[in-house]
Amino acid sequence: MSSKKTDETALTLFRKHDGILRTNQALELGIHPRTLYALRDSGKIFQIARGWYRLADLPALSDPDLVAVASVVPKGVICLISALAFHGITTQIPHQVDLAIEQKAKRPTLEYPPIRVFWFSGPAFSEGIETHLLDDVPVRIFNPAKTVADCFKFRNKIGLDVALEAVQMNLRQRLSTVDDIMKFARICRVEKIMRPYLEAML
């Protein structure tokens, strides 16, 4: 088979899988590593994360870093600054993807994008998860109320000012009620810390 036909066959397989394939998937489908690298070098596909390739002619990724992380770590949950930015309740600009994983899970390894990992356990990990379909990839993200509570829990790492701003923007935009926020404050065991701040804002 000519190189052109080989490339076209490989690109057709990519399109049948929503334009995204893992390296091992591509190999199982019969795409030779040489073909894969040739497509990458010619700009027809590009690497979105280690071991993941995407067709270059698809529409631009709306949240490429979140999509890349969710593709590689599907059981993780986008949290803290990254979740605040997704929900539009921070003025912070994320320079990495904040990712929550279960307490006993192994730390994921990604070449790109940079990630900051936080280990959660029990309801603090399992509650408050929303799944958003971004560019046909399911991305798990903590909802606004849970994210605010997490920010208070990790205030020493992200800053109390960031947590307070998130509460104010959350309430102003009416993304969550005070009851919603306090529910997750209890789950995250920061109810006593958060209550005075919330009462002062009402």
CATH code of the domain containing 92: 3.30.460
* 101 and 22 within one domain: no
Per residue in 65-115, pLDDT (tens digit) is 999 899 889 999 999 999 999 999 999 988 899 999 999 888 988 877 889
Closest by CA to 201, choosing from 8, 26, 177, 6, is 177
Cis check: omega of the bond before 113, within 30 degrees of 0: yes
* 83 and 9 within one domain: no
* 74 and 30 within one domain: no
3-class state of residue 142 by DSSP: strand
Per residue in 180-194, pLDDT (tens digit) is 999 999 999 999 999
* 138 and 186 within one domain: yes
Kindly give the pairing relationship between strand 97-102 and strand 115-120: parallel
* 75 and 23 within one domain: no
**Tokens in use for 180?**
């919603």
Confidence bin at 51 (pLDDT 50/70/90): confident
**Tokens in use for 72?**
């590689």
* 117 and 75 within one domain: yes
Confidence at residue 199, expressed as pLDDT on a 0 to 100 scale: 86
* 127 and 101 within one domain: yes
* 87 and 43 within one domain: no
Confidence at residue 142, expressed as pLDDT on a 0 to 100 scale: 98
Residue 64 has pLDDT above 70, yes or no: yes
Q: Which of 9-13, 78-82, 108-112, 145-149 is the least confident region?
A: 108-112
* 81 and 30 within one domain: no
- Say how many domains are in the chain: 2
Residue 1 has pLDDT above 70, yes or no: no
Residue-range definition of the domain harbouring residue 73: 64-201
Name the percent of the chain lying above pLDDT 90: 70
What is the signed CA dihedral for 73, 78, 80, 83, rounded to 10 degrees?
150
Q: What is the arrangement of strands in the sheet containing 20-22, beginning at the earlier edge strand?
A: 20-22, 52-55, 45-49
* 32 and 117 within one domain: no
Confidence bin at 2 (pLDDT 50/70/90): very low
Rounded to whole angstroms, how far apart are CA atoms 60 and 165? 30
* 127 and 173 within one domain: yes
Q: What is the pTM of this model?
A: 0.78
* 87 and 18 within one domain: no
